[in-house]
Amino acid sequence: MQARKNFNDFFKSAFTVDNVIFGFDEGKLKILLIRRNEPPFEDFWALPGYFVQPKEDLEAAAARVLREMTGMENVYLEQLHTFGSPGRHNLGRVITVAYYSLVKIADFRPRAAGLAQDITWHTVDDLEQLAFDHEEIVAVALDKLKKSIRTRPVGFELLPPAFTLTELQHLYEAIWETELEKRNFRKKILSMGLLEDLNRTQEGVAHRPAKLYRFDEAIYRKLEESGFNFEMKESKSK
Amino acid sequence: MQARKNFNDFFKSAFTVDNVIFGFDEGKLKILLIRRNEPPFEDFWALPGYFVQPKEDLEAAAARVLREMTGMENVYLEQLHTFGSPGRHNLGRVITVAYYSLVKIADFRPRAAGLAQDITWHTVDDLEQLAFDHEEIVAVALDKLKKSIRTRPVGFELLPPAFTLTELQHLYEAIWETELEKRNFRKKILSMGLLEDLNRTQEGVAHRPAKLYRFDEAIYRKLEESGFNFEMKESKSK
DNA sequence: AAAGATAGTGTACAAGTTACAATAAGCGGG
DNA sequence: CCCGCTTATTGTAACTTGTACACTATCTTT
C-alpha cells in the first residue's frame, strides 16, 4: 500500500469549531451571528467560531466560544456535523466541527468588548449570504433541530424557565413552519406529564392571563429510564 | 482578545477517518475490524481508518478506506461523529471523523493483499478491547443505528437484494436486542407499501419456503416527497 | 359595562397498535 | 406415499392514540 511513515509526515490541518446558536424571541426562531472584521469575508455575517487550541477538547472549545461571545454557560450544546471540504476556506485547509446550541435568549448579554464586532440575532428565514460555507452549516443545523424537537424535549431550552402553553406551541410552529391545532397540542404535551403547573399566571397582558408551566427534567429522566419515548408529531392540519 | 495572527500560526492537527462498517449475517449484527500490525496498539483490533489526504474531502476519504479495505463501493455511508480528545492518540493529536456504513455482507471480498493484516467480521455483542477510543466510537455508532432504522428504511442496506420478511424481522430484532411479534411486524412493514413481492421463494430450505421481497427505493422517494414518514417501533412484547 | 383579546376545555370519529393461535407449504425419513 | 418436522402465512377484536372541530372563561382597556 505504502511505506510506513513517521507520524509527523502525515498531513495536518487547521481546525475550528463553529457554533449554530439558536434562540427564540418574538415568536421567531433566531440564530446568533457575528460580523467579521477581517478578511476573508470581511463584513459578512458568520457563525461564531474559533480555532481549537492544542490541548483543548472539541466540546470544550465550542463551550469556550459560546462563553466568550455570549457570556452564557451551561447551555444545551451538541455536536452537529464536521465540514471539511478542501476548498471551504480560501487561506488553506480548515476543518470545522460544527456544534449547535439552544439558549434562553433573555440571558444573552453580548460581550462585544474587545472584539469590536457586531453580534446580533437574526431570524432564520431571512438570512443574507454568510461567510464560508456557513449557510450550509445553518441548513444542517435547522434540519437537525426540526428532528430533535420531535423526539427529545429540547425545545424547553429555548424558553424561559416559566412559560405558557401557547408560547411552547408557537415555538414548535416556528421551528416546523407549520400551524398546530391548539387543543390537540395541549392534550398531547400535558399527557406526557413532563410539565409542572406553577400555579402562577402571566402578568401585564391585556387579556386573560395564561397559566405558567415549567419543564420537569427530573421526571423526564425517570420516565426515560423506564422506556418512555418523548414524541411530538407535526400534524398536517391547520 | 488576542493579537491578529497569521493564518499559519494556528495549531494544526492530523486528521483521520474511521469507519464503523456494519454487516448482518447468521442472524447477528457484525462490524468489520482490522488487526493492527504496528504500534501503538499493535495486535489490537481497530476500526478501519486512515489519514485524510491534503486535498481529499472527508466523505471521499471514508469511501476510499472502505474501498481499499473491502473492495466495496457505492454503499451506504454517513458521517457519525467527530472524536478529538487531546489524549485519544498517544503519538500526538489526531482528530478522527467517524463514519458508519451499512453493507451487504455477501459482497465482501477482503482485500488483505498488500496489507498483511487480518480483516474480519466480529459480532457486536462480544467485542474484545479495541485500539484507541474505538470502543466508544462503536458504541456511538450502535446507538445511531438503533435510532436510524426506526425512522429511515436503512435496514435494507444490510440485506441481500431479495430477502424474506423473517430475515428483515431478525435484522430489527438483532439491532434492537428485542423480540418482535410476527404478525404485527409484517402488517406494519407491508402496510407502508415499500416492499415489492418478487413472486419468488427461498430455495433449499427444509420447510415451507418464504416469499422473497425487495425494497423499492423509487417508491420510497416518491412517498417521502409527499410527506410520508417511515417509522418502526420497538414494541415491548415478545 | 361593553368590547377586545387570548386562555382554556370535550367529544365523536378515524386510524393505528396490540395481543393472540390456527392453518398452509415445503422437506426428509420411514 | 404418508407422517412428522419446521417455518410461513394470515385475521380479528380490544384498546390506544390521533384528529377535527367551536364555544365559554377571564382579564384589560375604554
The verdict on B144 touching A (C-beta cutoff 8 Å) is no
Which pLDDT tens digit goes with each residue over A108-119?
877 655 454 689
Pick from B62, B60, B225: which is nearest to B141 by CA? B62
- Please name every residue paired with B19 in a beta bridge, in sequence order, or none if there are none: B99
Pick from A32, A39, A175, A46: which is nearest to A101 by CA? A32
Q: What is the mean pLDDT of residues B140-169?
A: 97
Q: What was the ipTM of the complex prediction?
A: 0.93
One-letter identity of residue A47: L
Burial of A26 (0-12, 13-18, 19+ CB in 10 A): exposed
Cα within 13 Å of Cα(B213), Cβ side: 19
Contact residues, chain A, for B85 at CB < 8 Å: 57-58
Asked if A34 contacts A80 with a C-beta cutoff of 8 angstroms, the reply is no
Protein CB footprint (7 Å) on chain D nucleotides: 5-12, 18-22, 25-29
Asked if A210 contacts A201 with a C-beta cutoff of 8 angstroms, the reply is yes
Q: What is the mean pLDDT of residues A78-83?
A: 98
Which pLDDT tens digit goes with each residue over A23-63?
999 999 999 999 998 889 999 999 999 999 999 999 999 99
- In eight-state DSSP terms, residue A53 is P
- Please name every residue paired with B24 in a beta bridge, in sequence order, or none if there are none: B29
**Distance (Å, whole) CA B106 – CA B123:** 16
Asked if B48 contacts B120 with a C-beta cutoff of 8 angstroms, the reply is no
Pick from A145, A122, A108, A174: which is nearest to A166 by CA? A174
Kind of pairing, strands B28-35 and B12-25?
antiparallel
- Please name every residue paired with B69 in a beta bridge, in sequence order, or none if there are none: none
Contact B13 A8 (CB under 8 A): no
Contact B11 A14 (CB under 8 A): yes
Q: What is the mean pLDDT of residues B177-184?
A: 96
Interior angle at CA B153, CA B201 and CA A221, nearest 5: 130
| Residue keyed to cell 509526515 | A9
Asked if B82 contacts B98 with a C-beta cutoff of 8 angstroms, the reply is yes
Pick from A211, A208, A192: which is nearest to A200 by CA? A211
- In eight-state DSSP terms, residue A199 is E
- For B183 and C20, how far is CA from C1' in angstroms? 10
Asked if B191 contacts B230 with a C-beta cutoff of 8 angstroms, the reply is no
- As a whole-number percent, the residues of chain B with pLDDT over 70 amount to 94
Footprint of strand C on the protein (CB under 7 A): A 164-166, 182-184, 186-187, 201, 205-211; B 181-184, 187-188, 201, 205-209, 231, 233, 235-237
> B interface mutation test: which of A79, A90, A95 has the most B CBs within 10 A?
A95
The verdict on B3 touching A (C-beta cutoff 8 Å) is no
Contact residues, chain A, for B57 at CB < 8 Å: 84-86
**Distance (Å, whole) CA B127 – CA B27:** 17
Burial of A88 (0-12, 13-18, 19+ CB in 10 A): middle
Q: What is the pLDDT of residue A4?
A: 58
Outline where DSSP puts E strands in chain A. 12-25, 28-35, 45-46, 49-51, 76-83, 94-102, 119-123, 195-201, 211-215
Kind of pairing, strands B195-201 and B211-215?
antiparallel
Q: What is the mean pLDDT of chain B?
A: 92
Cell of A186: 395541549
Q: What is the mean pLDDT of residues B149-155?
A: 96
**pLDDT at residue B156 tops 50:** yes
- For A169 and D24, how far is CA from C1' in angstroms? 22
**pLDDT at residue A121 tops 90:** yes
Burial of A114 (0-12, 13-18, 19+ CB in 10 A): exposed
Please spell the DSSP secondary structure of chain B, one letter per residue. Answer: ------GGGS-EEEEEEEEEEEEEETTEEEEEEEE--SSSSTT-EE--EEEPPTT--HHHHHHHHHHHHH---S-EEEEEEEE--TTSSTTS-EEEEEEEEE--GGG-----GGG---EEEEEGGG---BSTTHHHHHHHHHHHHHHHHHHSS-GGGGS-SSB-HHHHHHHHHHHHTS---HHHHHHHHHHTT-EEEEEEE--S-SSPPPEEEEE-HHHHHHHHHTT--------S--
Q: What is the pLDDT of residue A116?
A: 47
Which pLDDT tens digit goes with each residue over B109-124?
776 554 546 899 999 9
* Count of other CB atoms within 10 angstroms of residue A235: 14
Q: How confident is the model at residue A237 (pLDDT cuts 50, 70, 90)?
A: very low
Domains of chain A: 7-151 (3.90.79.10), 159-225 (1.10.10.10)
Cell of B41: 496498539
Please spell the DSSP secondary structure of A83-103, one letter per residue. Answer: E--TTSSTTS-EEEEEEEEE-
Helix A182-191, helix A165-176: angle, nearest 10: 110
Cell of B161: 437484494
Q: What is the pLDDT of residue A84?
A: 97
Measured CA distances, A90 to A93, A169, B205 (Å): 8, 42, 61
Asked if A82 contacts A94 with a C-beta cutoff of 8 angstroms, the reply is no
B18 to chain A, minimum CA–CA distance in Å? 13
For residue B57, give the nearest of A15, A55, A84 by CB distance: A84
* Count of other CB atoms within 10 angstroms of residue B40: 12
| Residue keyed to cell 498531513 | A11
